[in-house]
Structure 1
Amino acid sequence: MSLRRWLLAAALAGLTAAHAAPLVVPARIDAALSAMVKRGELVGVTAVVYEGGSEAYFGAFGQADREADRAMARDALMQIHSMTKPLTGVALMQLYELGRFQLDDPVAKYLPEFANPRVWVGEGADGQPVTEPAARAITIRDLGRHTSGIASGLGMPPALERHNNAHYRGIAWTSDLSELVARTALAPLVAHPGRRWTYDLATNVQARLVEKLSGQRFEDYLRDHLFQPMGMASTRFHVAPDAADRARFAPSYARDANGRLQRIPDAQSRAYNDTDWQLKTGTTGLVSTLDDYMTFARMLLDGGVAPNGTRVLKAETVKLMATDALPAELTDRSWLPSKGNVGFGINVGVRVGPPRNSGEFSGAPGEFFWDGAANTLFWVDPKHGIAAVLFTQFYPPGDGKLNRAFRDAVYADDAEAFAGNKPKP
């Protein structure tokens, strides 16, 4: 489809969404989230949903800080972990729009340390890795869709994981992004580029490319080109202990063996954000608020224009990011299929069709989304003109019950959002 035809279709879709009967029923979402708090499944939770260009829902339940008896609020500061990644992707794609690179450029064109990648074959008798040359160069497109082969430690062969643990020893928060990425370039790939979906560390390479192509430190680029222009005043890596808004910084909790949520000591859970460390990564580390992240989500929903009118990306660039980029023949996708009937764009999962069975989350085809380790989540649904953000702070990550409850409450009146054999709530 030509760009002109796509823009026309998008405009018509927006009109359709604006004039269709609204999906969001606030009482239904209230009931779903408050019930989880009452059952002790959450300490606190807050969520906001935009539909058809206006706020259709906001709710806050339970406590942001149980021990201080501080109620959950929409301005609570929370660690967003992997929801840092979509922001990294937008930063990089701004530079793409400026012509600083092409998606199929080899990464080594800008970061020469990636010139001769090698792929893990196994472990030799001496305990050292046995490798072979990569079949092709790693491209910037590979970084965005997570097909670079860069090993992350998630689902990797145990021997490679042991090797990488030793290989990265010495990298600390006092290191910088340049040092981390140089070390990444020397580590064996777990697969040849383009042959496997491997999550996580490629986003650090994206962040380093932002530095190389812009001439700014990554965190400075985010501040100058995303956070300040869009008005995301609370989003940052560092929350100083003496900051006036420190009381808004929510603690984190973890489920114990009996299912009870226990507070993680602040010195442990906030160790990264308490100090202005040198290392700022593209994979994780940002702290944000519900409304700040909704500003970002609405920008994506509105074709790259932030709520304050600032154009952050072109509409066609947002479309590129939110389009499944995984080749059909790429079947080794690690745990991505656990997200449902999805592919992957640039740092976001992309729903390619309705749920195929009752085990998948409800949602609309064309939606793009991601979540964070402390069970924060967001999605953008162009079909219905919806952007949704949910914040909470507990582990372990990937709580399917919360994700399902929130989604089902939003989409209960949309039959297509559910598998055919799954009754609506």
Structure 2
Amino acid sequence: MEQVNPETLGLNAAQLARIGEHLRGRYLEPGKLPGSVTLVARYGRVGLLDVAGLSDIERDTPMSVDTIFRIYSMSKPITSVALMMLYERGLFSLDDPVHRFIPEWRELAVRTAGAFPLFATQPCARPMTIRDLLRHTSGLTYDFLRESNLDYAYRKLQIGNPAPGYTLRHMIEQLAQLPLEFSPGTRWNYSLATDVLGYLIEVISGQSLPDYLQEHLFGPLGMVDTAFNIAPDKVHRLASCYERDAAKKLVCNDDGQDSRFRDRVFYSGGGGLLSTVGDYFRFCQMLLQGGTLDGVRILGSRTLEYMTANHLPGDVDLEQFAMGSFSETEYEGVGFGLGFANKIDPVKNGNLASLGSFFWGGLASTLFWVDPEEELVVIFMTQLMPSSTFNLRGQLESMVYAALD
């Protein structure tokens, strides 16, 4: 990626330089993060590309601009865009019931009491729709939330946790046997919903999720390093993932040489992709430019405007509508669209990104946002779990917007 003089983009070079200084002094040198890659782009050109630290501490491997990262939930916007490409072909409606494509989900019910495996249930007030899956109002949940008896059931059954031979179809069959947390459309809860969208892509398109994404998204956008599995000749570029032990020392929890990324068959549209800063920048720039990049149209501009608007009922924020306490964003002043969180009240949110900015993050502390008002893209990559360890988004927002001249 070519980096230009940030002053030509209306970005103060001295202020931008503070981002790298901050990351090194506060996080990398004290051993709080292994390494990082930070990109700030405006008007489609890169004004800051800061590469620092290590991609693998044990092997003393330097971080590089083409390091491959587990982007976890930053897979969600990609899968959501991919599904909406099928929407633009008229192959489904957002208000179609999910059971149109997953017949065994026709009789889904809502948990009222009880614990696994003995739940008391009642019928849903209405069927789950594809819109519910896109905006996380489906009633599904995640095993790691640890806030309800249903979360426990997901953990007990290992739903969405890829064992050898486990596929999206297995996940769908398991979920058919469990109730929902709430009636669809009545609350917001972070969940496996986007993994279900990946399964719908397979059903509607007739292709496997990896093949569909490669043919219709990664190939046309030139995202050469983004995939669910990693090729043997790229393994050396895969960063190791870390967490902090009781002494706050970084401990590797997923080695960069791990074979699970070479031949797995569970394709998690909600959290399974690997990518680089360069690839994800091409995806974000396509979003900023209304669905087009380098003359290739991926999605219509009206569709993207619709996806990045707030779809929570009554235009409320997540603080007022969310059920759980975890996601990849603060709740105050933040709405949720079709695959993206969006800034609906910057003052209430307390951070500086513009009204209408849209964004998300990943479990290993990766993050991005797109600010249409300022024509700005920011991407931060590292590998530290969980993402709630440090307020990296808030700190980066304050420093990036301070650089706007």
User: TM (normalized to structure 2)?
Assistant: 0.89
Kindly tell me: are residues 90 and 127 of structure 1, through their superposed partners in 2, closer, same or farther at Cα, counting changes over 3 Å? closer
Establish whether residue 263 from structure 1 lines up as the match of residue 252 from structure 2.
Answer: yes
Instruction: Report the equivalent of 1:289.
Output: 276
How does 1:248-397 map onto structure 2 within 5 Å? 248-264=237-253, 266=255, 270=258, 272-273=260-261, 275-306=262-293, 308-328=294-314, 331-333=320-322, 334-335=324-325, 338-356=330-348, 360-397=350-387
Partners of 1:93 and 1:389 in 2: how far apart? 23
Partners of 1:297 and 1:313 in 2: how far apart? 13
- Superposed CA RMSD: 2.5
Establish whether residue 208 from structure 1 lines up as the match of residue 194 from structure 2.
Answer: no
Deviations 1:25-64 (A, max 9, x none): 4312222222221232222111111102211111111111
Q: Is the 8 A contact 1:32 1:406 kept in 2?
A: no
Instruction: Report the equivalent of 1:81.
Output: 72
User: 1:20 Cα deviation (Å)?
Assistant: 8.7
Kindly tell me: are residues 317 and 88 of structure 1, through their superposed partners in 2, closer, same or farther at Cα, counting changes over 3 Å? same
Partners of 1:154 and 1:52 in 2: how far apart? 39
How does 1:151-166 map onto structure 2 within 5 Å? 151-153=141-143, 155=145, 157-166=147-156
3-state SS of the aligned residue for 2:76?
helix
Deviations 1:262-309 (A, max 9, x none): 223528x93531x31221121111111110011111110110012x32
Q: Is the 8 A contact 1:374 1:394 kept in 2?
A: yes
Establish whether residue 117 from structure 1 lines up as the match of residue 108 from structure 2.
Answer: yes
- Structure 2 letter corresponding to 1:195: T
Establish whether residue 40 from structure 1 lines up as the match of residue 35 from structure 2.
Answer: no
User: 1:127 Cα deviation (Å)?
Assistant: 5.5
- Structure 1 letter corresponding to 2:285: R
Q: Is the 8 A contact 2:221 2:282 kept in 1?
A: yes
User: 1:107 Cα deviation (Å)?
Assistant: 1.0
Kindly tell me: are residues 378 and 127 of structure 1, through their superposed partners in 2, closer, same or farther at Cα, counting changes over 3 Å? closer
Establish whether residue 178 from structure 1 lines up as the match of residue 181 from structure 2.
Answer: no
Partners of 1:90 and 1:320 in 2: how far apart? 12
Runs of 5+ in structure 1 lacking a partner? 1-17, 416-425
Of 84-93 and 147-156, more deviation after overlay is shown by 147-156
User: Which of residues 56, 60, 70 is equivalent to 2:61?
Assistant: 70
User: TM (normalized to structure 1)?
Assistant: 0.85
Establish whether residue 236 from structure 1 lines up as the match of residue 227 from structure 2.
Answer: yes
3-state SS of the aligned residue for 1:355?
helix
User: 1:175 Cα deviation (Å)?
Assistant: 2.1
Establish whether residue 27 from structure 1 lines up as the match of residue 14 from structure 2.
Answer: no
Deviations 1:46-84 (A, max 9, x none): 111110221111111111122222211110011111111
Partners of 2:55 and 2:166 in 1: how far apart? 32
Q: Percent identity?
A: 36
Partners of 1:127 and 1:205 in 2: how far apart? 22
Partners of 1:157 and 1:264 in 2: how far apart? 24
Of 160-169 and 34-43, more deviation after overlay is shown by 160-169
Establish whether residue 190 from structure 1 lines up as the match of residue 181 from structure 2.
Answer: yes
User: 1:160 Cα deviation (Å)?
Assistant: 2.6
Q: Is the 8 A contact 1:88 1:203 kept in 2?
A: yes
User: 1:172 Cα deviation (Å)?
Assistant: 2.9
Instruction: Report the equivalent of 1:12.
Output: none
Deviations 1:191-219 (A, max 9, x none): 01111111121111111111111110111
